[in-house]
Amino acid sequence: MTVAQQPEALSFECETGNYHTFCPISCVAWLYQKIEDSFFLVIGTKTCGYFLQNAMGVMIFAEPRYAMAELEEGDISAQLSDYEELKRLCLQIKRDRNPSVIVWIGTCTTEIIKTDLEGLAPKLESEIGIPIVVARANGLDYAFTQGEDTVLAAMANRCPDKAPVAETEKNERNAIAKLLNFGKKKEDVAQDESEYVDHPPLVLFGSLPDPVVTQLTLELKRQGIKVSGWLPAKRFTELPVLEEGYYVAGVNPFLSRTATTLMRRRKCKLIGAPFPIGPDGTRAWIEKICSVFGITPKGLDEREAQIWAGLEDYVKLIRGKSVFFMGDNLLEVSQARFLIRCGMTVHEIGIPYMDKRYQAAELALLEKTCQEMNSPLPRIVEKPDNYNQLQRIYELKPDLVITGMAHANPLEARGINTKWSVEFTFAQIHGFTNARDMLELVTRPLRRNNNLKDLGWDKLVREEAKI
């Protein structure tokens, strides 16, 4: 394709493929560790239990705070009382674990047999004295990471709507403040508070590891912006206050339902920013938040340049190469934009679900990045048909395919470098300092094959893979 033939705008297509991703109930894997006083009860069949057992078997050293409520034949044929069975299980959870919240995760089966979880939860909650949050995370309607989206949307309705009157109480409720001020003297804390600009309250939403939460909070603090809270918080009892008119900003592109809930139900104002993935995305995210609050960003040019300089060893390995996204975790657009900035060509961005409104700023940054890097605009395919995608991959012969686990080995057997997209879901890739971790994952298969070629083993490996 010549430069003159390149499309002037992003092209969007929608195929008829299913969600070829992990089941969204797997969100339990990271949410139960993030919300430390929670317990997750997945209501489904034995198949759901087998999936959780295998998907989370690597976490045997972490004490699990989730369980399966397995539906039997009597449940499906309406011969048993849903209420009594769930009450028995929740009372056992209360006795054994005493969590601050129990999250019911609905699966495909509860959707098919029309189990009224939302109707059962309020009555049972008042009876056992523990909040019960109902989240639909079935694979019929949602892709892999959208399980978190449904949980956070449900929790957004549980956030308090009145801030404490006393400032001391306010500080006690703010888990972020306690985290940042740990070990500091009162005078130092007061000095830190004076560094903030007077602006409306800001709440960030998206589940991230605590170190990344601290990093992004400090990046905004450098600009004089105070983060009033995160959704989810480390503890359910520390959920952020959400009053009408509060500003909210997301950190992940798969949280469109949560964003809609915050705007429509809680009357918050959404900051439509690109997502803080890669140095370019992190800078754009901070700049957009600053612009909304009328703040002139400070030192972002130097900060971004410093990060890029430290990434050069990785960037030179992928500069001029091509990548193809098959679609799995809904991080594809942000990852593609970052890799284009690194000098790669993106043939296609497959994505299970695309909310153009929520990702509008990210899509605009993708177009801008392609123009600045003189790179062709990638096609974006929603709900891709994997058979058609494989044909396109064979024709395009990309240097790397980022794909779900199901297609990785077959592609490798045909001489195509692959990387599991699920690894990016669990890795720390947000913020300035974590861009190196993402490039470490992207370049690993390329570095591995370079090493094999140097040793002369690449042909042997290909032959064994075909066998």
Comparing C-alpha atoms, which of 228, 234, 280, 235 is closest to residue 249? 228
Do 438 and 414 fall into the same domain? yes
Phi-psi region of 278 (alpha: psi -120 to 50; beta: other; left: phi over 0): left
Q: What is the CATH number for 233? A: 3.40.50.1980
Phi-psi region of 397 (alpha: psi -120 to 50; beta: other; left: phi over 0): left
Do 12 and 137 fall into the same domain? no
Task: Tally helices (H) and strands (E) across the chain.
Answer: 21, 14
Helices 386-396, 405-413: axis angle to 10 degrees equals 40
Do 196 and 262 fall into the same domain? yes
Residue 232 located in a structural domain? yes
Among 103, 127, 142, identify where a domain stops: 142
Among 260, 292, 324, identify where a domain stops: 292
Residue 322 located in a structural domain? yes
Residue 53 located in a structural domain? yes
How far apart, in Å, do the first and last CA atoms of the chain sit?
A: 37
Comparing C-alpha atoms, which of 171, 270, 292, 286 is closest to residue 220? 286
Q: What is the number of alpha carbons within 13 Å of residue 213 lying toward its C-beta?
A: 23
Flag whether the pTM goes above 0.95: no
Residue 160 located in a structural domain? no
Do 272 and 316 fall into the same domain? no
Residue 133 located in a structural domain? yes
Do 36 and 12 fall into the same domain? no
Domain count across the chain: 3
Do 334 and 443 fall into the same domain? yes
CB-CB contact of 428 with 44 (8 Å): no
Among 258, 292, 326, identify where a domain stops: 292
pLDDT per residue, tens digit, the chain (467 aa), is: 444 455 578 889 999 877 778 889 999 989 998 999 999 999 998 888 888 887 766 554 556 788 888 877 655 555 567 888 899 999 999 999 999 999 999 999 888 888 889 999 999 999 999 999 999 999 888 998 999 999 999 999 999 987 655 444 444 456 556 655 656 666 555 556 668 999 999 999 999 999 999 999 999 999 999 999 999 999 999 999 999 999 999 999 999 999 999 999 999 999 999 999 999 999 999 999 999 999 999 999 999 999 999 999 999 999 999 999 999 999 999 999 999 999 999 999 999 999 999 999 999 999 999 999 999 999 999 999 989 999 999 999 999 999 998 899 999 988 899 999 999 999 999 999 999 999 999 999 988 877 766 665 555 555 555 54
Do 256 and 334 fall into the same domain? no
Task: For tokens 């905004």, name the residue.
Answer: 220
Residue type, 187: E
Do 210 and 74 fall into the same domain? no
Do 204 and 313 fall into the same domain? no
Do 312 and 273 fall into the same domain? no
DSSP letters spanning 334-384: HHHHHHHHTT-EEEEEEES---TTTTHHHHHHHHHHHHHTT-PPPEEEES-
Residue 97 located in a structural domain? yes
Do 312 and 458 fall into the same domain? yes
Residue 390 token pair: 């494989």
Residue 161 located in a structural domain? no
The shares of helix, strand and coil residues in the chain, as percent rounded to the nearest 5, are 50, 15, 35
Do 214 and 240 fall into the same domain? yes
Residue 153 located in a structural domain? no
Domain residue limits at 179: 167-278+285-292
